[in-house]
């Protein structure tokens, strides 16, 4: 089985396993106690904090260990907003942030605060000037991920941090996806990360608050972790997290070159091997091991099951999954195809042979899914005076796009096709299909049920 979902979680690094096992015998006691066992636990905790701080590029007393990366984000945003509540309650986020950031933004908005969501381009990249335009007199905090979790695009953190610094606004950076590859440059104010993203154990997050940043921890606090992460520290897991971070950093430069070559191979060959595919994300500013593509006329969940049967574990941002019927917010913000989406994220140590086998398997997996979804369109197509109408009401992606593709040739150049759909994904996938196939997307309009999407045949 080839595990290609490192953006979700990286397998436990051997150094993490060794450190975890070794510290179980020494790190079980309360590090706040002065007796021998407590002092031993304190030594382990302090050493782990120093190692993690060195990897981040901060002072040890600026770094707190939390119970997860999500908890670090929630605590960091809430504390920074509370610390600057006299300034205002305006928060800036990018449209492609991790859900933990967006959920915090929703909570602020529900409490009466205001949110500005900065748009991204088709590669998933923010414009630093857009952050500058979003800044206001009541802006308390800005957030920006260092690299995107779905498409791998790396953001211009340094430039955005400089814009925020000039305005006196702190910037929180979600570094979960990138910290294992290197420190985050720039004058950021707060940083969060999660150990299971670099090969440490799950249940350990990092929250860094630079000295001088106004911060007021919310909720009940105690004396642990500077009052920012109450509760007994999981010292063996923390030690393993810090040890594995140091280990992967030592291997990062060489492994990044190797994984980038493998993902470049996937980026280049998938469109040649599989017709009607869009590779998404920035081709240059991206994480070494992540490549994401979307396949027209493919159910994303079905394709993932097909690849799983072939021995490959991949993930998807497709709207067609068992957990959601709406497109990925990242793909939607980028304006790219969402149906049949596959994210391949290679963990360190991925064998070249596994990548070659994936490239051999993928075409027949996509073909098999497309054949299963090949629905007849004779019962769904009618003619109006000015357009051909495809009734896809009640049908989920990618059926509306499949039916559109089958009938576009039945209208003359300049003619219209109206696709009736009540699937939210159609708002993203039909325009994306037009972009890929050189057809003109006219827009959408209300219909008796759902929406009518208008496409003009351009070629």
pLDDT digits (tens, 9 = 90+) for 280-302: 999 999 999 999 999 988 888 89
C-beta separation of 249 from 183 below 8 A: no
CA distances from 441 to 201, 429, 449, 455 (A): 47, 11, 20, 5
Check whether 321 has a pLDDT greater than 70: no
pLDDT at 376 over 60: no
The per-type count for the chain, helices as H runs and strands as E runs, is: 12, 17
- pLDDT value at 160 more than 80: yes
Mean pLDDT across 211-224? 89
- Among candidate residues 58, 143, 320, 434, the one labeled active-site is 320
pLDDT at 8: 95
pLDDT, position 326:
65
Task: Tally Cβ neighbours within 10 Å of residue 41.
Answer: 23
Instruction: Between 204 and 224, name the one with better pLDDT.
Output: 204
pLDDT at residue 332 tops 50:
yes
**Residue scoring higher pLDDT (383 or 35):** 35
**Which pLDDT belongs to residue 383?**
56
Does the CA dihedral 76-77-80-85 come out positive or negative? negative
Cis peptide leading into 398, omega within 30 of 0? yes
- The pLDDT of residue 378 is above 80: no
Residue 369: both structure tokens together? 């899914």
Is the pLDDT assigned to residue 325 strictly greater than 70? Answer: no
pTM of the model as a whole: 0.86
Compute the distance between CA of residue 292 and CA of residue 274 in angstroms, rounded to an integer: 14
Task: Average the pLDDT over 256-273 and give the result.
Answer: 95
Report helix, strand or coil for 341: strand
In a 10 Å sphere around its CB, with 0-12 CB exposed, 13-18 middle and 19+ buried, how is residue 431 labelled?
buried
Within 13 Å, how many C-alpha atoms sit on residue 155's CB side? 35
CB atoms within 10 A of CB 118: 22
Q: What percent of the chain has pLDDT over 90?
A: 77
- Whether 157 shows a pLDDT value over 60: the answer reads yes
Instruction: Output the six-digit token pair for 241.
Output: 């997290």
Looking at per-residue pLDDT, the higher value among 425 and 241 belongs to 241
Q: CA–CA separation, 84 vs 169, rounded Å?
A: 9
Q: Once rounded to an integer, what is the mean pLDDT over residues 27-42?
A: 92
CA distance 189 to 72: 14
For 44-58, 67-81, 218-232, 333-347, which range has the lowest pLDDT when averaged over its residues? 218-232
The pLDDT of residue 398 is above 70: yes
Whether the pLDDT of residue 224 is over 90: the answer is no
- Full DSSP string of 90-154: EEEEETT--HHHHHHHHHHHHTT-EEEEEP--TTSPPPHHHHHHH--TTEEEEEEESB-TTT-BB
Contact 423, 339 (CB under 8 A): no
As a whole number, mean pLDDT of residues 246-257 equals: 96
Q: How far is it, in rounded angstroms, from Cα 59 to Cα 414?
A: 64
- Is 320 annotated as catalytic? yes
Confidence label for 386 from pLDDT (cuts 50, 70 and 90): low
Token pair for residue 330? 């990242």
Residue 337 CB neighbour total at 10 angstroms: 30
State the Cα–Cα distance between residues 119 and 95, nearest whole angstrom: 5
pLDDT at 338 over 90: no
Residue 384 has what pLDDT?
56
Would you place residue 377 in the very low, low, confident or very high pLDDT band (cuts 50, 70, 90)? very low
Instruction: Give the burial class of 418: count Cβ atoms within 10 A of its Cβ; 0-12 exposed, 13-18 middle, 19 or more buried.
Output: buried
Distance CA 279, CA 252 (A): 25
- pLDDT for the residue numbered 318: 59
pLDDT category of residue 375 using cuts at 50, 70 and 90: very low
pLDDT at 373 over 90: no
């Amino acid at each position: 089985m080839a595990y290609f979902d490192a953006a979700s979680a990286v397998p436990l690094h051997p150094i993490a396993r060794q450190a975890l096992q070794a510290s179980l015998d020494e790190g079980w006691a309360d590090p706040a106690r002065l007796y021998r066992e407590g002092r031993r636990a304190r030594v382990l905790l302090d050493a782990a904090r120093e190692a993690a701080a060195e990897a981040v590029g901060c002072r040890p007393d600026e770094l707190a260990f939390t119970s997860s990366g999500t908890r670090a984000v929630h605590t960091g945003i809430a504390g920074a907003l509370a610390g600057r509540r006299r300034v205002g309650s305006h928060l800036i986020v990018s449209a492609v942030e991790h859900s933990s950031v967006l959920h915090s933004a929703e909570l602020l908005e529900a409490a009466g605060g205001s949110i500005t969501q900065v748009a991204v381009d088709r590669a998933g990249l923010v414009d630093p000037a857009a952050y500058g335009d979003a800044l206001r007199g009541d802006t308390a905090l800005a957030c920006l991920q260092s690299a995107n979790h779905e498409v791998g695009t790396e953001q211009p953190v340094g430039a955005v941090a400089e814009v925020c610094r000039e305005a006196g606004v702190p910037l929180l950076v979600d570094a979960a996806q990138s910290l294992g590859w290197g420190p985050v440059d720039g004058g950021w104010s707060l940083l969060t990360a999660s150990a299971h993203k670099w090969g440490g154990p799950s249940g350990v997050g990092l929250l860094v608050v630079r000295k001088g940043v106004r911060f007021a921890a919310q909720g009940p606090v105690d004396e642990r972790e500077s009052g920012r992460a109450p509760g007994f520290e999981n010292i063996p897991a923390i030690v393993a997290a810090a040890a594995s971070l140091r280990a992967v950093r030592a291997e990062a430069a060489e492994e990044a070159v190797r994984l980038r070559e493998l993902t470049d191979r996937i980026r280049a060959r998938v469109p040649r091997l599989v017709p009607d595919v869009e590779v998404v994300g920035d081709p240059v500013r991206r994480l070494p091991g992540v490549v994401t593509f979307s396949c027209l006329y493919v159910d994303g969940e079905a394709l993932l099951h097909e690849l799983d049967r072939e021995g490959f574990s991949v993930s998807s941002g497709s709207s067609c999954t068992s957990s959601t019927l709406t497109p990925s917010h990242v793909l939607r913000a980028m304006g790219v195809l969402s149906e049949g989406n596959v994210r391949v994220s290679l963990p360190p140590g991925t064998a070249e042979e596994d990548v070659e086998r994936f490239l051999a398997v993928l075409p027949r997996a996509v073909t098999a899914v497309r054949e299963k979804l090949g629905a007849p369109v004779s019962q769904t197509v009618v003619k109006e005076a000015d357009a051909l109408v495809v009734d896809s009401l009640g049908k989920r992606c990618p059926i509306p796009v499949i039916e559109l593709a089958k009938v576009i040739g039945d209208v003359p150049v300049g003619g219209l096709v109206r696709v009736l759909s009540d699937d939210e994904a159609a708002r993203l996938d039909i325009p994306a299909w037009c972009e890929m196939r050189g057809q003109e997307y006219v827009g959408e309009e209300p219909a008796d049920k759902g929406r009518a999407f208008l496409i003009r045949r351009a070629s």
